Amino acid sequence: MNEQSAARKEANVGGRSLDLSKVRSMDGVDVRDKRVLVRVDFNVPIENGVVADMTRLTRVLPTIAKLAREGAKVVVLSHLGRPKGTPTPDTSLKPVATKIQELMPGTVVRFAAAPSGEDAKRVVDTLKRGEVAVLENVRYHKGEEKNDRDFAKALAALGDLYVNDAFSSSHRAHASLEAITDLLPSYAGLLMMAEITALGEALEQPERPVMAITGGAKVSTKIEVLTNLVSRMDQLVVGGGMANTFLLAEGFMLGASLVERDFVATAKGIMARADESGCEVLLPIDVVVAKELNAGADWQVCGVSEVPADTMILDFGPQNVADLKRRLAKVKTVLWNGPLGAFETPPFGEGTFALAREVAKLTKAGKLVSVAGGGDTVRALNEAGVADDFSYVSTAGGAFLEWLGGAELPGVGALARSGSRAH
C-alpha cells in the first residue's frame, strides 16, 4: 500500500462510515479502445453563451487528456444548472464542449445533443481511439435526479468503464453518480483522488496544531460543519455573520448586526462541545462596523462590547487579524471555509484578505498546509490573489460543506462500495 492509500485507509474514522481505501483510482487500468464514461462537474457559469469561469474545466482536463492519450474513447457526462428534466438554452453543455475543444486543440471533441438515446449512441459509435464526446446535460433526463436505474442503464450502455471525477457533484445521489456504479466497473478520476486525499488529510489526519477558519452568514446552514469541526480541530475561528450569533450567545449587544436568535442555543451547544473536546473557539475581538452595507458607507473599528446601536458588524477588526496572525505562526494545518466579512463590498473584505495573505505566505514558506473550499471562499481567495498559493483549493461548494460536516457523499460512497465488489 502506498503512502497515499494508507492515509486514506486511516481516514476512515469518526461518523463517516465509508472506507476510502476501497475507492479505486485509474492507475494501471487498461483503457485502450474502451469507451470510458467520465462524470465531471461542468456546472460552470455561462454568460452570453460563453463559459465565464474556467476553473472546473481546467481542473478536470488532466483526466480527460490522460484517458484520450491512453487510447480510450472518452464519453464525458455532466449536469449544468437545474433544468429539472426540460432542456433550456442556458443549461446546454454545448458552450462547454466548444471550450473543451479549444483547450484540446489536437483532439477531436464531439458533442451529442442528448445525454442518452439515439443521438448519444450515434456520436459515441463514431468515436475513434483517443477521441472525446461531450454529451448534453444529464439533467435533461428526469431519471438523473431520481437516481433512476433505467436511466443509469441507458448511460451505462454507452460505456465499458465508468470514472467519477466530479467530487463537487458527489453529494447528490443521482443516476450518473450513484446508480451507474452498480452497472459498470467504476473508478475515481485524478481530480476526485486529489480532492478526497487533500480533504481527508486536512480534516481527518491533519498535522497538528490544526486550525479551522470558518465564516459565512448563517449558523443555521453550518451546524453539522461546526459541530464536526469542534470535535476534530485544535482551534476554530468563527467569522462572518455567523460569529454574531455566537457573540450574542456570549451576551454581547450587537446593534443592528445580522443575528439568528433562534440559533443562540445551537451556538452555545457547539461551544460546550468544543470545551469537551479541547477545541478553542476564537470569536471576534474587534470588528469593523457601518450603518449600511455599501461601498461608500462610513465605517469604524470597535471592540465587540462597543458596537453602536445603529451599526452592524461587517468585518474582522485589525486587532483580531493581528491576534490570528500570531496564532497562525504556531499552526501546522489550516482548513478554511467561509469569508470572515462582507468581502464583496469594499472595504469589508480586508479582514478576510489579510488573513488569506498570511495563510498563503506561511504555506509558500513551507510552514503550513492549507486547504480551502466553498464557492464564496474561493472567490474571496481569488480576489485576494492568493488561491494559487494555498496547498489545495477544492472545486466543491455544497459537497465540501457536506464533507466537512462528516457526511458520506453518495457519489464517493458508491465508488468505495463498487471498489469492494468484484466486477
Active site residues: 56, 218, 375, 398
Stretch in the footprint of Mg ion (CB under 5 A) among 138-146, 174-182, 335-343, 371-379: 174-182
Q: Which residue is nearest to ligand 3PG (CB)?
A: 43
Stretch in the footprint of ligand 3PG (CB under 6 A) among 100-108, 168-176, 298-306, 309-317: 168-176
Number of residues that bind Mg ion (CB under 5 A): 1
Question: Position of cell 431520481?
Answer: 146
Please tell me the distance from the alpha carbon of residue 21 to that of residue 7, in angstroms, as a whole number.
Answer: 8
Partner interacting with residue 398 (select from Mg ion, ligand 3PG, none; CB below 5-8 Å by kind):
ligand 3PG
Partner interacting with residue 350 (select from ligand 3PG, Mg ion, none; CB below 5-8 Å by kind):
none
Among 21, 25, 43, 257, binds ligand 3PG (CB under 6 A): 43
Asked if residues 236 and 226 have their Cβ atoms less than 8 Å apart, the reply is yes
Smallest separation, CB 65 to ligand 3PG (Å): 21
Partner interacting with residue 383 (select from ligand 3PG, Mg ion, none; CB below 5-8 Å by kind):
none
Question: Per rule CB under 6 A, is residue 87 in the interface with ligand 3PG?
Answer: no
Please tell me the distance from the alpha carbon of residue 108 to that of residue 127, in angstroms, as a whole number.
Answer: 9
Angle among Cα 300, 305, 307 to the nearest 5 degrees reads 35
Nearer to ligand 3PG, 40 or 97 (CB): 40
Stretch in the footprint of ligand 3PG (CB under 6 A) among 86-94, 167-175, 254-262, 334-342: 167-175
Angle among Cα 279, 280, 281 to the nearest 5 degrees reads 110
Partner interacting with residue 41 (select from ligand 3PG, Mg ion, none; CB below 5-8 Å by kind):
ligand 3PG
Asked if residues 165 and 38 have their Cβ atoms less than 8 Å apart, the reply is yes
| Grid cell at residue 398 | 455544497
Stretch in the footprint of ligand 3PG (CB under 6 A) among 8-16, 110-118, 166-174, 275-283: 166-174
Among 63, 169, 176, 394, binds ligand 3PG (CB under 6 A): 169
Asked if residues 229 and 222 have their Cβ atoms less than 8 Å apart, the reply is no
Taking Cα atoms as reference points, which of 258, 216, 240, 218 lies closest to residue 373?
A: 216
Nearer to ligand 3PG, 139 or 232 (CB): 139
Please tell me the distance from the alpha carbon of residue 110 to that of residue 165, in angstroms, as a whole number.
Answer: 20
Question: Per rule CB under 6 A, is residue 172 in the interface with ligand 3PG?
Answer: yes
Taking Cα atoms as reference points, which of 134, 8, 125 lies closest to residue 60?
A: 134
Asked if residues 202 and 8 have their Cβ atoms less than 8 Å apart, the reply is no
The 3-state secondary structure of 301-368, one letter per residue: EEECCCCCCCCEEEEECHHHHHHHHHHHCCCCEEEEECCCCCCCCCCCCHHHHHHHHHHHHHHHCCCC
Taking Cα atoms as reference points, which of 228, 236, 238 lies closest to residue 211?
A: 236
Please tell me the distance from the alpha carbon of residue 356 to that of residue 378, in angstroms, as a whole number.
Answer: 11
Smallest separation, CB 181 to Mg ion (Å): 6
Nearer to ligand 3PG, 355 or 409 (CB): 409
Partner interacting with residue 147 (select from Mg ion, ligand 3PG, none; CB below 5-8 Å by kind):
none
Q: Which residues contact 107 (CB under 8 A, 6 or more apart)?
A: 65, 68, 101, 130, 131, 132
* Strand 286-290, strand 299-303: pairing: antiparallel
Question: Position of cell 445521489?
Answer: 173
Among 32, 82, 84, 208, binds ligand 3PG (CB under 6 A): 82
Partner interacting with residue 169 (select from Mg ion, ligand 3PG, none; CB below 5-8 Å by kind):
ligand 3PG
Per-residue x/- track, 4-23, ligand 3PG (CB under 6 A): --------------------
Nearer to Mg ion, 64 or 177 (CB): 177
Per-residue x/- track, 359-398, ligand 3PG (CB under 6 A): --------------------------------------xx
Partner interacting with residue 71 (select from ligand 3PG, Mg ion, none; CB below 5-8 Å by kind):
none
Strands (E), 69-197: 73-77, 109-112, 132-135, 161-164, 186-188
Nearer to ligand 3PG, 60 or 249 (CB): 60
Chain residues in the site for Mg ion (CB under 5 A):
182
Residues that bind ligand 3PG (CB under 6 A): 41, 43, 82, 168-169, 172, 397-398
